Amino acid sequence: MARFSTSNPFFSTLTSPRHLFNPREIVKLFRRVNEKRVEDLATRLAHYISSNLPAAFEKRGELGDYRTNPYVLMTSASVMNLDEPIAFGKFLFNTKLYMGLETSFGKSIEAAFLEQYPLVSPDKWIEAPEKLAEFALLKGLSREEKAKRRIDSVWREVDRSCVVGTRRYLTSIKSGPNTINDTQV
């Protein structure tokens, strides 16, 4: 994997294969943090969350609006003795709520932070134009139809792309405990 050349000691320390931190060096490095940039990131993140999180909840009015796997649901209900509809409903809602929050967190980091990087290049991380074009063709289709058409997409798991020099980089961003999606496997 190619590394971006930089004279930033903070970046060099974080990307080194071994991390031996000296507290005085850490203090010195944090003094170099650009407070205006940190404030800008915080503002972007707050704006993204305040506008997108409510919208995510408002567009789901019933159980059918959530993606669920019936086999996992049946197994979970059986193993956890969720015989009562109320208990099963609470389990399902809380599980989906947490997963939605986790996804929303990852998307907010993607939206607020990545468009500024890499610092050493005028070109920044963007959504892959091929993915945007592919998704544009899905407008107006039902969720089921969209899923059928996306199943074989090579762009499905690509979150961002960036060109540095003559090389294009593609990345998939993960914020949860799982490091790779089943479709990537």
Residue 6: is its pLDDT beyond 90?
no
pLDDT, one tens digit per residue, over 136-147 is: 999 999 888 888
Whether the CB-CB separation of 155 and 134 falls below 8 Å is answered with yes
Question: Which tokens go with 115?
Answer: 């468009």
Contacts of 155 (CB under 8 A, 6+ apart): 128, 130, 131, 134
Percentage of the chain exceeding pLDDT 90: 9
For the chain, where are the E strands, in sequence order?
160-164, 167-171
Residue 91: is its pLDDT beyond 70?
yes
Determine the pLDDT at residue 129.
93
Q: How far apart are CA 133 and CA 36, in angstroms?
A: 35
Q: How many CB atoms lie within 10 A of CB 121?
A: 13
Structure confidence at residue 130 as a pLDDT band (50, 70, 90): very high
* Mean of pLDDT values over 22-51: 86
In three-state secondary structure terms, 125 is coil
Among positive and negative, which fits the CA dihedral 128, 133, 138, 140? Answer: positive
Q: How far apart are CA 137 and CA 116, in angstroms?
A: 28
